[in-house]
């Protein structure tokens, strides 16, 4: 889309509401500069409508004869703007009252309040961003880790959309070769060569699918529940993994009566750690509720860390926990290795076939790094190697990738079965159209609404 979509002028506050040094009111549309010119007063009687593009000017915003705030006004003319429309940003003092008063003055001058994500939606509709790049803007804003930010920035630069465009062109070339065979049956077309090209495209799609799986973990994060009977060191382990004293730790069994949840980063991935109440037969209503919440945390966990105190013999509660069917990845953690050893791994191995055993001291930190490495190996296949090994894709994008993959597999199967060129061409058309949807070509209104309603107003 190269032409600029013209429409009404919109405005919104583009900075978080609250106290701060600066608040920004952003306008976009054909009337943006003219509206601000009505409100802006410069000490030099500057006419905002006449200033060069991408310049910033000092003055005041006034309405109904009263000065509202001292401001700096940035003027950016189409098409070299975020939305490819005229854009004006009014930089005023931060704070709810000042920023809201400036926005109200702009709206009173005839501008419409922007909807969620409408600035970025206009950037997409005006060809400034692909649909994937528009989604990357949201991923940048919501990034929880440095690696997540790096991946989102790469996608904003067009890494994913460029790969899809290249594959779509390759599919179009294959389709043209097949259609020659349909139109001119006497022409000799070597389908073996087409099969090889299809196989290469399938391999590229599979790499994108794998990268999207990594990206989903990177964006959504993982949940790890720390479980065990009272006084085995669950809260101490939580503090060790967080590298801070978040949970209260005492010698008294059952100090944690509720679940405690905190976010940390392991292997570049956000991880939600849940410290649970000690799992034993509850003795009072508070402990009953704590155990119930622990059971809920276990259901949410991608991985469970079952702690045992290796400085003493196993208890009946330990044996009961070791004997349960957890139906999810489980690590056995022998804690308190800094104390004299009583419980040895060989004593529990017959009960824990298939579950890794780690020996640590949550108090001193011994074995914590090995445990973290084990977590990344179990949940991330060794971790996310870097910014080029992950893609942050929405559910609908992942679904389209899988549909494109299945269509290409059907093409390969049709060639192997020596099916008619018409059947091969039809599956290639499906793959080509699906790749176009990934680029945002003929994207449905439902997809656009789902994407942009997740943005905040002002972005």
DSSP 115-133: PBTHHHHHHHHTTSS-HHH
Distance CA 407, CA 365 (A): 51
Buried b (16+ CB within 10 A) or exposed e, 399-426: ebbebbbbbbbbbbebbeeebebebbbb
**In the chain, pLDDT over 70 holds for what percent of residues?**
84
Q: Mark whether 260 and 318 lie in a shared domain.
A: yes
Q: Classify residue 157: in a domain, yes or no.
A: yes
* Judgement on whether residues 177 and 233 belong to the same structural domain of the protein: no
250 pLDDT above the threshold of 50: no
Q: Are residues 262 and 321 in the same domain?
A: yes
434 near 403, Cβ under 8 Å? yes
Q: Are residues 23 and 117 in the same domain?
A: yes
Together in a domain, 212 and 227: no
Residues 105 and 184 in one domain: no
pLDDT of residue 253: 45
Cα R_g (the chain), whole angstroms? 30
284 pLDDT exceeds 70?
no
Q: What is the pLDDT of residue 160?
A: 85
Does a structural domain hold residue 452?
A: no
Q: Which residue range forms the structural domain that includes residue 275?
A: 221-380
**The two structure tokens encoding residue 1:** 């889309």
| Lowest model confidence (mean pLDDT) among 112-126, 216-230, 358-372 | 216-230
Mean pLDDT across the stretch 214-224?
Answer: 80
Task: Find the CATH number of the domain harbouring 340.
Answer: 3.40.50.300
Whether residue 169 sits in one domain with residue 252: no
In this structure, the answer to whether residues 264 and 340 fall within a common structural domain is: yes
Same domain, 211 and 234: no
The answer to the question of residue 457 being in a domain is no
Confidence of residue 254 (pLDDT cuts 50, 70, 90): very low
Q: Give the mean model confidence (pLDDT) for residues 100-122.
A: 92
pLDDT tens digits, residue range 137-157? 877 877 777 777 877 787 777
Tell me the pLDDT of the chain averaged across its residues.
82
Per the document, the length of the chain is 459
Q: What pLDDT is attached to residue 354?
A: 75
Predicted local distance difference test score (pLDDT) of residue 366? 93
- Domain-terminating residue out of 380, 405, 423: 380
- According to DSSP, the residues that pair with 75 across neighbouring strands are 55, 88
pLDDT tier at 381 (50, 70, 90 boundaries)?
A: low
Last residue of a domain, one of 70, 100, 130: 130
pLDDT score for 54: 96
Taking 50 as the threshold, does the pLDDT of residue 248 lie above it? no
User: Does residue 453 lie within any of the structural domains?
Assistant: no
Kindly indicate the confidence band of residue 266, based on its pLDDT and cuts at 50, 70 and 90. Answer: confident
pLDDT of residue 372 exceeding 60, the answer is: yes
**Residue reference for tokens 């005041």:** 60
| 252 shares its domain with 371 | yes
Residue 5 lies in a domain: no
pLDDT, greater one: 456 or 108: 108
Closest among 451, 450, 435 to 402, alpha carbons compared:
435
Which is higher by pLDDT, 5 or 228? 228
Distance of CA 268 to the CA centre of its chain: 13
Longest distance between any two alpha carbons in the chain, whole Å: 88
More confident call, 291 vs 115: 115
In a domain, 324, yes or no: yes
pLDDT at 188 > cutoff 60 = no
In total, how many domains does the chain have? 3
Q: What distances in angstroms separate CA 24 from CA 39, 78, 123, 140, 299, one per listed residue?
A: 15, 20, 19, 19, 43
What is the predicted pLDDT for the residue at 290?
A: 64
pLDDT at 279 over 70: no
- pLDDT mean over 398-421: 90
3-state secondary structure of 71: strand
pLDDT band of residue 300 (cuts 50, 70, 90) is confident
- Answer with the one of 130, 164, 197 that is the final residue of a domain: 130
Tell me: cis bond preceding 121? Omega within 30 of 0 counts.
no
Q: Is residue 352 part of a domain?
A: yes
Kindly report the CATH number assigned to the domain that includes residue 406. Answer: 1.20.120.430
Instruction: For residue 385, tell me if it sits in a domain.
Output: no
Inform me whether the pLDDT recorded for 71 exceeds 60. yes
Tell me how far CA of residue 173 lies from CA of 166, 334, 403, 421, in angstroms: 11, 59, 20, 15
pLDDT at res. 95: 82
For residue 72, the tally of other CB atoms under 10 A from its CB is 14
Residues 267 and 373 in one domain: yes
pLDDT in tens, 168-178: 999 998 888 88
Least confident of 124-133, 298-307, 310-319, 388-397: 388-397
CATH number, domain at 51? 3.30.1360.120
Contact 123, 82 (CB under 8 A): yes
pLDDT at 28: 96
Burial class (CB in 10 A: 0-12, 13-18, 19+), 184: exposed
CA distances from 223 to 26, 206, 234, 299 (A): 38, 26, 15, 10
Residues 366 and 290 in one domain: yes
Q: Which of 219, 246, 218 is nearest to 234 (CA)?
A: 246
Q: Which among 381, 383, 246, 222 is positioned nearest to 305, based on CA atoms?
A: 222
């Amino acid at each position: 889309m190269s032409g600029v979509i013209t429409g009404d002028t919109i405005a919104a506050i583009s900075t978080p509401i609250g106290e701060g040094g600066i608040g920004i009111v952003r306008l976009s549309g054909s009337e943006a500069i003219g509206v601000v010119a009505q409100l802006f007063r410069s000490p030099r009687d500057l006419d905002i409508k006449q200033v060069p593009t991408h310049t910033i000017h000092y003055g005041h915003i006034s309405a109904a004869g009263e000065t509202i705030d001292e401001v700096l006004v940035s003027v950016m003319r189409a098409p070299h703007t975020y939305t490819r429309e005229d854009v004006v940003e009014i930089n005023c003092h931060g704070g709810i009252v000042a920023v809201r008063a400036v926005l109200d003055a702009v709206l009173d001058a005839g501008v419409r309040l922007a909807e969620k994500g409408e600035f970025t939606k206009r950037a997409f509709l005006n060809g400034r961003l692909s649909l994937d790049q528009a989604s990357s803007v949201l991923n940048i804003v919501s990034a929880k880790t440095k690696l997540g930010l790096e991946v989102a920035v790469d996608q904003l630069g067009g890494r994913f959309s460029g790969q899809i465009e290249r594959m779509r062109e390759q599919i179009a070339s294959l389709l043209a070769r097949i259609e020659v065979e349909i139109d001119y049956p006497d022409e000799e077309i070597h389908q073996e060569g087409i099969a090889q090209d299809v196989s290469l495209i399938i391999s590229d799609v599979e790499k994108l699918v794998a990268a999207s799986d990594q990206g989903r973990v990177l964006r959504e994060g993982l949940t790890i529940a720390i479980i065990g009977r009272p006084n085995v060191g669950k809260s101490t382990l939580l503090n060790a993994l967080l590298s801070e004293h978040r949970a209260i730790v005492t010698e008294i069994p059952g100090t944690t009566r509720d679940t405690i949840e905190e976010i940390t980063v392991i292997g570049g991935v956000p991880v939600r750690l849940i410290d649970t109440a000690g799992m034993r037969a509850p003795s009072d209503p508070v402990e009953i509720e704590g155990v119930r919440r622990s059971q809920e945390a276990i259901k949410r966990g991608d991985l469970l860390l079952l702690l045992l105190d290796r400085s003493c013999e196993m208890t009946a509660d330990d044996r009961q926990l070791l004997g349960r069917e957890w139906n999810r990845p489980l690590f056995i953690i022998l804690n308190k290795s800094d104390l004299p050893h009583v419980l040895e791994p060989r004593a529990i191995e017959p009960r824990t076939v298939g579950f890794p055993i780690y020996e640590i001291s949550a108090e001193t930190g011994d074995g914590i790094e090995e445990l973290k490495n084990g977590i990344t190996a179990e949940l991330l296949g060794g971790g996310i190697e870097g910014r080029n090994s992950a893609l942050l894709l929405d559910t609908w994008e992942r679904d389209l990738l899988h549909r494109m993959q299945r269509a290409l597999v059907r093409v390969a199967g049709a060639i192997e079965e020596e099916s008619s060129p018409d059947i091969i061409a039809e599956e290639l058309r499906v793959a080509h159209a699906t790749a176009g949807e990934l680029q945002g070509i003929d994207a449905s209104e439902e997809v656009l609404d789902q994407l942009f309603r997740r943005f905040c107003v002002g972005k």
